[in-house]
Amino acid sequence: MTSSDGDSTQDPRQGAARTLGPRLRIQGEVRVPTSKSVAQRVLACALLAKGETRFEGLPAGGDVLHALRCARVGGARFPSEGKADDLLATALIPRVGRGALIGAPPGPVEGQRPWVEFPVGESGTSARLFTAIAALGRPAGSGAEIVPAGTLTNRRSPALFHALRAAGAGVEHGGLENGWPALLTAATPPRGLELVEPGSSQEVSALLVALASHEGHHELRVVGPIPSEGYVNITASVLERFGAVITRTSVVGDGPRGHATRFTIRGPLRAPRASIRIEADASSAAVALAAGALCGGQATTVRGVGVGSAQPDAAFPTLMARLGCDASLSSEEQLGLSGAPTRGGVIDCSGVPDVAPVLAAVGGFLADRGEELELTGLETLPGKESSRIAVLAEGLIAIGFQVDSSDRTLRIGPRVRRPSSPVPLDPRGDHRMAFAFALMSLFEPHARILDPDCVSKSWPTFWQDLSAAGA
């Protein structure tokens, strides 16, 4: 077990563990990775676009590497095609952060229709994007398998699979019904498509990307509310870089289906003339800014993403201002925070579910000082890489807090005891749980985070970057 003062022992259950420790102060500019959410969408569009897409700042996390592999096996080519190092290109591009892909837009093919396997890893975003691409963004009649890993084999996407079947695609499941692995036979998409009661904004994004790959106008009608709808804005922003035109209107009905959102999509996708620069990840920025706030409140900033970003999590400084911090350092070029949180309250996380774990750690800090924080709108958290509400509650209880939770809320109350010996916190292989527990270790010296390498999914250099910033 590695602690902030250099001590090293071994946890008998899960090997090496880490803690950031409360002794030093995080401040100044913190380096965070670029956005994997943006990067995965860029790579999916690059596969479907005509021409060569150039990009910079591609993050090196596992989710993006799997998306790059999916684009490659889906038919996208590296400009270095035929050279001896081509087999290494998928691995090398994330390391240097820049590269290019020549797209393989959907269209008729001569001879035998290709069969491919999309290795989506454990990423729900890539699973949904490439599921829709396999069904509606490839030559009609071609087949594909979506190959998952880890906890993705336990996750489902009923609304998306129902929409793809209605569009004429063939769908068979190798595991859970409406889950992955899945075998798909591509169809030519109809002009109009309906998605009913989506369980994730990623389902909407996936269909928008697949439909935008085709010539002309298509319509996607989404019946019911869109969970975390702000993430659809990221997709629309990326699609517009590739020349698609997306319009959105709200439809309010009196019938049993009630509210709907109608998207009109005009394609096809074409590679942008200018290189696409992936902006810094706002979810990771939230972790860095919270770290500064919880261990001294010194001015902390993250450059490369600002308040005008399409990423919903760029609102994190504003949320922290409601808890007593100063968000005035934020601008169009950076997100910034100073001061420690001083007051509790209620925060609706329905639009920013990825920062809910960060806010849960902030809730522990506040509860240690007599304040109470309640997080609502957490209904999408149980279906992530772990059952996040339960794992967060378990961790907070383990270090001595009173916690009340439901399937959509988490309330962090006062301390009922203080640990007197190391407390192992198991993130269940979930990178965002590891980030939350790391933040808790800034004010709870006995916290020890098991399986610290699970952060490689989105932020492989997390421990080094936070240490360089003062942890």
Q: How far apart are CA 431 and CA 373, in angstroms?
A: 23
Whether residue 324 is found in the same domain as residue 425: yes
**Residue 85 in domain:** yes
Overall size of the chain counted in residues:
471
First vs last C-alpha separation in the chain = 16
Between the alpha carbon of residue 368 and those of residues 337, 342, 417, the distances in Å are 21, 11, 10
Q: Domain of 441?
A: 17-33+280-468
Query: How confident is the chain (471 residues) per 10-residue block, as mean pLDDT?
Result: 34 60 80 96 98 95 93 89 62 85 83 81 96 96 95 95 98 95 96 96 98 97 95 97 97 70 97 97 98 94 96 97 98 97 97 97 96 96 92 97 96 95 96 97 95 94 91 75
Q: Are 445 and 415 in contact (CB under 8 A)?
A: no
Whether residue 243 is found in the same domain as residue 301: no
Of the residues 277, 312, 337, which one is the last residue of a structural domain?
277
Helix, strand, or coil (residue 226): coil
Could you tell me which residues are beta bridge partners of residue 219? 192, 264
- Structure confidence at residue 11 (pLDDT): 42
**Residue 429 in domain:** yes
Whether residue 58 is found in the same domain as residue 199: yes
Whether residue 420 is found in the same domain as residue 456: yes
**Residue 4 in domain:** no
CATH number, domain of 415, equals 3.65.10.10
- Structure confidence at residue 25 (pLDDT): 82
Q: What is the CB neighbour count within 10 angstroms for residue 114?
A: 15
Whether residue 297 is found in the same domain as residue 430: yes
Of the residues 277, 293, 328, which one is the last residue of a structural domain?
277
Whether residue 62 is found in the same domain as residue 174: yes
**Residue 240 in domain:** yes
Count of domains in the chain?
A: 2
Whether residue 44 is found in the same domain as residue 184: yes
**Residue 129 in domain:** yes
The DSSP symbol for 457 reads G
**Residue 74 in domain:** yes
One-letter-per-residue 3-state SS of 296-348 = CCCCEEEECCCCCCCCHHHHHHHHHHCCCCECCCCCCCEEEEECCCCCCEEEE
**Residue 7 in domain:** no
Whether residue 207 is found in the same domain as residue 269: yes
277: exposed, middle or buried (Cβ count in 10 Å: 0-12, 13-18, 19+):
middle
**Residue 1 in domain:** no
Whether residue 223 is found in the same domain as residue 125: yes
Helix, strand, or coil (residue 28): strand
Whether residue 335 is found in the same domain as residue 386: yes
Of the residues 277, 298, 332, which one is the last residue of a structural domain?
277
Whether residue 258 is found in the same domain as residue 176: yes
Token digits of residue 6: 């250099």
Whether residue 255 is found in the same domain as residue 388: no
